[in-house]
Chains A and B, each alone.
Chain A
Amino acid sequence: MLRFIVQRLLILPVLLILFSMIVFWLVDAPPGDYLTSYISNLAAGGSSIRGEQVEALRKQFGLDEPGYIRYLYWVQRLLQGDLGYSLEYLRPNADLIGERLVLTILLALFAFIITWIVAIPAGIYSATHQNSLLDYVFALLNYVGVATPNFMLALILMWFAFAYFGIGITGLFSPEFEQAPWSVARFIDLLKHIWVPGIVLGIAGTARLMRVMRANLLDELNKPYVVTARAKGMSEWALVIKYPVRLAFNPLVSTIGWYLPQLFSGSLIVATVMNLPNIGPLLLRALIQQDMYLAGSILLIYCLLTILGTLISDILLALLDPRIRMEES
């Protein structure tokens, strides 16, 4: 097991170098650079900028250098633990990401918890009561949940709240707490607001997870060991929870690590639509504005977390299911 983990960790730098190249190439691929998006922003605002000014800025930002030089410069900074400087915000990228990190993770955790708390019991119920009325109701809700893009759901909720209650439900804080330092009152205020985005973000995941849980469990429930246990007089509740449910968890656990990058990414579109101050809109903006070092840094962290997440999944799986532990194979 230990050997396996060490092996995986050793590949990490190689993967990261590869990913850093791909990320940089992708971010740099669109035509133009930060300054072309900058001047067209100015143009849309009615103003215009002189050609010499643009050239001076391009030089100042180092955007006149060829791609590989800019890549090496970026990587050199990364190796010193420096995520670089945002062209648009004129601030270190690490600060920008850092100040959004707590809220991003809180929101994602909240959605994650909603998902699991609702989906697992409902999935178990659906499987043990296959083709019952409630099972069908769950199924219908599932299809609706999966089929509705969550940004659409956000828009509908926002419209509903505005049209019938005359309130806007964007953001995560009341105006008076928006900039306040963390305090109990601010946290309570956050809890008041986090529900809507939490449910919006959780709903598709809930539906998907419920279906997977149901299907996994159905596979297990008909196996001979279940019949045997039942025949031996084991209580139904204890039986289901102790054996088939545990096995049905396997495929789910194998994907739990994927939540790690999701915790960090902050659901791009929903967060943008609902104006949530997390990392999603930061990344989207950076990509649109071609603020390449900021976008690159976020994407690279995302890659790193994906790799780590997969590793965590593997480890968890091994802990949960003795059959696939490395030592025994």
Chain B
Amino acid sequence: MKHKLLHTLAVIMILSMILGACATPTTEAPKPTAAPAQPTAAAPKPTAAPASKYKEAPQLAELVKAGKLPPVDQRLPENPAVVDAAEIGNYGGVWRRGTLGPSDYNGVNRVIDDALVIFSPDGASTVMKYAESVTPSADYTSWTLKLRKGSKWSNGDPFTTDDIMFWYKDVLQNKDLSPTLPPWVQNKDKSLVDIKQVDAVTTVWTYKDVHTTFLMELANAEYGDKNVPCFLPSKFLKQFHISYAKKEDLDKMVADAKFKTWTELFLLKISPFDTPERPGMAAWVAAPGSRISDQIFKLVRNPYFVGVDKAGNQLPYFDEVQLKFFADANALNLSAIAGELDQQERQIQLANYPVLKETSQKTGKYNIFLWTSLGGADADVTFNQTYTKDPDLGKLLANKDFRIALSHAINRKQIQDSFFLGTGEIRQPVAKKGHPYYPGDEYAFKYTEYNATLANQMLDKLGIDKKGADGYRLYANGKKVTLELSSANVLASSPDVAQLIVKDWQKVGIDAKVQIRERALHFSLRESNDLQAEIWNQDTAGFPFTGSTKYDVRSGIYGNTTYGPLWYNWYRTNGKEGVEPPAYIKEMVALIDHAKTVGPADQAKDAQQIFKLWVDNMVEIGTVGLTAIDQGVVVVNAKMKNVPPNLTKDWPLRTPGNGRPETWFYVP
């Protein structure tokens, strides 16, 4: 009897286990979420307020009715920013996006594109955002920056030149807050630019030298890379600044926040992502209490946003942006594939392009766009031309013909097909066709032809024509020619592409191998002149003069410049250390300096010349470029409109910010 009882029990148990396992996905898993994708409100209707010039979201109209918010005409500046978009949209809805958490904060900077001036969708020009106008003097030494009269921060505080002067006087010139000055506010003699406050909306920025890149620099003078933006909510921040706050109050706040100094507290309070109460100017600002370290970082409509559409509807259309924190990029991709993210390009992997495309066709839930950059290459090889550890190899690496031969030895089509899934184009790392900086087809495709015979002939002429028993080339002294291609194992420095390249080089008799390194080690070897060759991408082709451009040997990104660490040292120490660079490097440096002093037409000529020198000397071997690998595979909810299908993407452009997300909307 007891036996039977146990028996039955066990059977029931195992049945329920099996049933449970089978039934689980259907009954217990989260239901597909259709709700957030649907707009919550109908088309914008004229608000109740009489004779209003502008229209607003129903959400805000209710607050106005309840007396909790001033009418829209009083919230907008006298001359709002009219944002061009394909269609006039509807208010409402939530834009769901994914992030990898606090360290992925630049993903949020790209969404809000929180700057006085921003880049156009094609990246070729700048557009006024919070600023009304920025005009240079005839000689490009001084710039007059005008704000929009009557514009306000998200809490209703007036946005005036006080907010720029607070940054200029109390932050930039405070040694504790700004131990070093960003290059764009410096004159050539390292002194600070002079900023004069003319009235509540006008400031005049005067440089000692000609300064033509001001607009591009202003477009990046926001919170990108956690730099201090050039305009700050001064009224809010003064309570945390030592020059304005009472010392005992400040000390208490610092202690309560468990900081050591007031500067740590101040820098935290500047952050729009960690301090929800900090007023902002962007289309969406952090919801009360919401922070980037939350599981979902919520941004809500800024009722004072300065932008309107062509029909006079205050932007943005979306009520809310929700950034979901994924612990892992693969989980984020899976969520995008399942259609749970409404628009996403950041962290989407090119490898998932086929499955995304297939699912999009099958379900119709979303569309897939491919956005491309301003040029450059998505995988390229740079040789260390000042390598000293092995003098034989050093001599080869410094020889232009060696680099050209190895360029011809690479089967780029194979790389394009297998790694980039056939997207993009085979090219050298220069600006893209159609861009004013494009040096012409002759340079864009120079030395890209796959020709192992030619490569072999060229190598034979370099005194490494003898081969050992294993088939690899030998130096005249009988030593084998070995070459190491270092990969930092990040997206931009792909070990997979490196493997393909190395195999091609082995075919022309170079005993090459890939060395995958932990990134910190890779950087430190770069700094100490110990790298032989490196695989990386070239993403600065659209901006060869500003930012940390790789075409400028003086940039020293992460410690040094791969193609000439000793040249970098030579410039850094004014010729005391390092090695004097060859003429073409000096010419490039001169061109970059010249470009900063001339207008756009002459800048384009300088850029073309830089690219010609870059390719002629084969400083960097480009493979495939203009692919979607870096934040270019775009998932867009099928109901979301106004998202540009062919946006130009780049970090200085803060893509998707240059695609004007405030004009995106859902159709019912």
Contact = CB atoms under 8 A, between A and B. Distances in A.
B13 A289 contact: no
B390 interface: no
Q: Most chain-B CB neighbours within 10 Å: which of A44, A96, A171?
A: A44
B518 A30 contact: yes
B66 interface: no
A30 B524 CA distance: 14
A321 interface: no
A70 interface: no
Contacts of B13: 118, 121-122
Nearest to B3: A236
A205 interface: no
Nearest to A175: B33
A32 B520 contact: yes
Q: Most chain-A CB neighbours within 10 Å: which of B263, B335, B519, B630?
A: B519
A176 interface: yes
Interface stretch (A83-91, A254-262, A305-313): A83-91
B182 interface: yes
Nearest to B28: A195
Interface stretch (B486-494, B608-616, B634-642): B486-494
Contact of A52 (B107, B180, B298, B322): B180
A162 interface: yes
A174 B25 contact: no
Interface in A101-151: 118, 121-122, 124-125, 128-129, 134, 137-138, 141
Given A41-B103, A162-B338, A289-B103, A46 B650 contact: yes
A265 interface: no
Interface string A258-287: 000000000000011111010001001100
B538 to A, nearest CB: 11
Nearest to B332: A275
Interface residues of A, number: 81
Given A32-B518, A43-B490, A125-B6, A166 B32 contact: yes
A125 B106 contact: no
A90 B32 contact: no
B646 to A, nearest CB: 19
Nearest to B292: A89
Interface string A176-187: 101100000000
B96 to A, nearest CB: 8
A193 B106 contact: no
B225 A162 contact: no
A223 interface: no
A175 B36 contact: yes
A193 B29 contact: yes
A141 B334 CA distance: 29
Contact of B520 (A36, A176, A277): A36
A134 B11 contact: yes
Contacts of A121: 9-10, 13
Contacts of A60: 263-264, 267
A46 B543 CA distance: 12
B488 A40 contact: yes
A180 to B, nearest CB: 10
A38 B105 CA distance: 11
17 contacts: A31-B524, A39-B558, A44-B492, A60-B263, A121-B9, A122-B10, A122-B14, A124-B6, A134-B14, A167-B32, A170-B334, A178-B324, A193-B29, A236-B2, A237-B2, A273-B331, A277-B325
Given A167-B32, A193-B28, A275-B335, 15 more contacts: A38-B103, A46-B651, A50-B183, A88-B101, A90-B268, A90-B293, A121-B13, A166-B32, A168-B30, A169-B29, A175-B296, A196-B24, A237-B2, A281-B327, A284-B327
Interface of B: 2-3, 5-7, 9-11, 13-14, 17, 20-21, 24-26, 28-33, 35-36, 96, 101-104, 106-107, 179-180, 182-183, 224-225, 227, 258-259, 263-264, 267-268, 271, 274, 290-291, 293-296, 298, 322, 324-328, 330-331, 334-335, 337-338, 340, 346, 363, 488, 490-492, 518-521, 523-524, 539, 547-548, 556-559, 630-631, 650-651
